[in-house]
A = this chain, B = another copy of it.
Amino acid sequence: MEKRVYYFGEGASEGQGLGKDLLGGKGSGLAEMTALGIPVPPGFTITTAVCREFFDAGDRLPEGLEGELFASLERVGAAVGAVFGDPSRPLLVSVRSGARASMPGMMDTVLNLGLNDVTVEGLSARTQNPRFAWDAYRRFLTMYANVVLGRGREPFEEALQHARLKAGVRHDHEVPAEALRALVEGYKKLLGESFPQDPRAQLLGAVGAVFRSWHNDRARVYRKMNGIPDAWGTACTVQAMVFGNLGDTSATGVAFTRDSNTGERRLNGEYLPNAQGEDVVAGIRTGHKLTTRDALASYTEDSLEARMPEAFARFSEVAAKLEAHFRDMQDLEFTIQDGRLWLLQTRSAKRTMRAAVRAAVEMVREGLLTRDEALLRVEAGRLPELFLPRLDEAEAKSAEAKGLLLGKGLGASMGYACGAVVFTADEAEREAAQGRDVLLVRRETSPEDIHGMHAARGILTATGGLTSHAAVVARGMGKCCVAGCSAISVDYRREVLRVTTPEGAREFKKGDVLTLDGTTGRVFLGRLKASAAVSDAHLDEVLAWADDKRRLGVRANADTPLDARNARRFGAEGIGLCRTEHMFFEADRIAAVREMILADDTPSRQRALDKILPMQREDFVGIFNEMKGLPITIRLLDPPLHEFLPEAEGDLVSLAKELGVSLEVVKVRNEALREFNPMLGHRGCRLGLVYPEIYATQARAIAEAVVLCARGGADPRPEVMIPLVAAEEELRRLRALVVETMDGVFAREGVRVPYLVGTMLELPRACLVADRIAAHAEFFSFGTNDLTQTTWGLSRDDAGRFLPFYVDQKVLPADPFATLDADGVGALMKLGVERGRGARPGLKVGICGEHGGDPASVGFCHGLGLDYVSCSPFRVPTARLAAAQAALRG
């Protein structure tokens, strides 16, 4: 039979090296510390395997566990010179949870276990501190009642409050022993028979309760949010109590080996003299700073360094030893009992991204880590946090407490935004033009709203998922967005935002100010303040190391000169996707675009295109000039034409007027362009084939811009990309059209600039026949957004109805729009690469879907042997780091 209980203490550490999977984070940390000779109260850990056995058996402790458990308990008693349940030398223990992944505060703990009516007297006599003994008993009863027996804390808190009042004191630690004894009597009456006087029964009850707390609501939610499997279970550690509340030479505290906010190397934390650990965690009393340097000037004398210099020196030593051992920033819990230091916990410290980056860089300088190790330590996916202003958490908490939290949607695009509510893109633009901060609030957004999204500080939608139009575009813009906030509904007619709360519905009007938190999806009423974002030299250093290591190129998706400038700033080595349709929406050209769409025949279409040509040329000139010498993949027109037409009756009327045709004509044409499944409709190269004059005009604009820029010395490097190809013949014809047009311009102008023509692989069929398509393509770029949609038969815009349910209920391990689905979409990509390069060795292959900025997906692309990934500008650092990590992992 497998060993279920692992002892640690007095230098013996049965669990050393067995790791967190079996012993949980806490158990594993204690085993390691013990083995390192660091002072740890002796104890033992019951494995996570036992927890799973417990659940499998219908919440019963497995046969045979008791024997192992009490044998280890005897060893603990022997080590500290006490006996569990012994009236004269009672051993008290703590019973704590500890999972593989840290879930701070989510599960339950029982302290001071082993006390009963007899042992409390023994404790009192032995410590010569009746107040301490009765206080411990009082605490134990409260915790036992709550954790093991499932009782509410309120009657216990009330009785305690009553005792304080009666004693005429303000704080718990001022309540005298006699009053505590009376309080205990009261508590016991509350519990009656349900509280076992037998310490062994207490212990078995507490172990079961700790296991069960794996399934409490908080823990479930936390796991869901952090992707921790329900199946893991928790370990349970039973450990001899040490007391920080034995008087002024005792204390308890928490500490970080480095600053968890900035990453600065300085031991910091809080402690409380004469207190138990829960007092610090619960925040009942205000802690003092650990070090002199750390404290505010006026409170320097209260620091641990000042008050207990020896214990502090010992602690500093231990902290340094632990950091060196684990080679990472540690989060420590300690207790000082009668001047003697005990470590209760060590774990990797949670930290902000800024801290993570700085710590990584400095640990390399300190020789603690190699560069490669440091690169692997930084979570690439969290890098964008560095570039976005974030909501101040203290502010958010206080707002929530005041009832200002209106609802929660999906944190679709990070950052934070506050502004006045507007309901239309035009309004957003108007208000923004007058210098006002606005939030664009829509049921959902469409490409028509782009200008409003640009103008707004943030976007809030009632429907749509993480890959809805609003979410994708907002991320591309690096703009804050909360999507799919089901608590809200928008009444465009009445211009009212309706919020459903448990207390009923509230309505907000245009101009009301909200704050959005794009990280967590929270929506607040009123203007909340942000914590500022600053530039970061440590990050530059990490990214420079990453660039040395990575094999994958990193480009950015950028549609405008401004985007392009951003992209270069973030280190992009080119543009992997420049969507020309976004240019079509600019205010100065949408009229010509609409004229083109509503044209009845080729000549009128060409006339409208002739108006668009010089504007497109200017767009390209701007981008080429920004990206001097770097490749730019320009995608020819992709979306269905009706996306460019207005929807509202009023807009149709003015469009008709503008174009000098009847409203009827505009309406009929608008209706004729409407599609059942626009995603699968007349778009991409299908437009280029049916209306070759559109692509020809775009190709001409590109070539003419190339000529202008080449003459200006900007070294333009265009790569023309034909979208939505499914069959080789589509590409063959359109490639010929593009080449004929561009070469024609070059011949006319007497300038010859090399360029590539390639295609976007975004349909399953294209991947399957990639060998034939490659015959006409000088490059491939995987459009994994659409490839995911078609491979899965899953519309991004509609997935909100069931995809969250799927991820929630674990039908799928992850949202395939967020993380590339290696088994399905990835299998098609693999075919595409193999077949494409099989037919055309050395074919350049990249990816330009949203996945290009997701670390796991970047890793997958590295494995596939792609040449580059392309992503939103502000995700470029993520991609650079993730590419390096993939290279390091091999």
Contact = CB atoms under 8 A, between A and B. Distances in A.
Interface of A: 675-682, 686, 689-690, 724, 726-727, 729-730, 733, 762-765, 768-769, 786, 789-795, 797-798, 801-802, 805-806, 809-812, 821, 823-825, 827-828
Nearest to A733: B811
Contacts of A686: 802, 806
A786 to B, nearest CB: 7
A809 B727 CA distance: 14
B765 A821 contact: yes
Given A763-B793, A765-B821, A768-B791, 12 more contacts: A677-B678, A677-B679, A680-B680, A680-B789, A682-B802, A689-B802, A690-B805, A724-B793, A726-B792, A764-B764, A764-B793, A790-B790
A792 B798 CA distance: 20
A764 B791 contact: yes
Contact of A689 (B675, B786, B806): B806
B680 A727 contact: no
A797 B726 CA distance: 18
A821 B764 CA distance: 13
A797 B733 CA distance: 25
A795 B828 contact: no
A724, A729, A811: residue with the most chain B Cβ atoms closer than 10 Å: A811
Contacts of A806: 686, 689
Contacts of A729: 810-812
A675 B798 contact: yes
B769 A823 contact: yes
Given A795-B676, A798-B676, A824 B682 contact: no
A626 B790 CA distance: 38
Contacts of A809: 689
Contacts of A794: 680, 726
A294 to B, nearest CB: 50
A764 B824 CA distance: 8
A388 B798 CA distance: 41
Contacts of A677: 677-680, 795, 797-798
A680 to B, nearest CB: 4
15 contacts: A675-B801, A676-B795, A677-B680, A680-B798, A686-B806, A689-B802, A726-B792, A726-B793, A727-B811, A729-B812, A764-B791, A764-B828, A765-B823, A765-B825, A790-B791
Given A793-B726, A793-B790, A679 B682 contact: no
Nearest to A689: B811
B726 A676 contact: no
A678 B676 contact: yes
A736 to B, nearest CB: 13
A763, A768, A797, A806: residue with the most chain B Cβ atoms closer than 10 Å: A768
Contact of A764 (B682, B726, B790, B797): B790
A478 B267 CA distance: 82
Nearest to A468: B676
Contacts of A805: 689-690
Contacts of A724: 793
Given A790-B791, A792-B763, A824-B765, A811 B679 contact: no
Contacts of A790: 764, 790-791, 793
B680 A730 contact: no
B676 A768 contact: no
A765 B792 contact: yes
Contact of A675 (B682, B793, B795, B810): B795
A791 B811 contact: no
A67 to B, nearest CB: 39
A802 B690 contact: yes
A679 B676 contact: yes
A838 to B, nearest CB: 15
B824 A726 contact: yes
A786, A795, A828: residue with the most chain B Cβ atoms closer than 10 Å: A795
A811 B794 CA distance: 27
A682 B827 contact: no
Contacts of A768: 791, 823-824, 827-828
A681, A729, A789, A821: residue with the most chain B Cβ atoms closer than 10 Å: A681
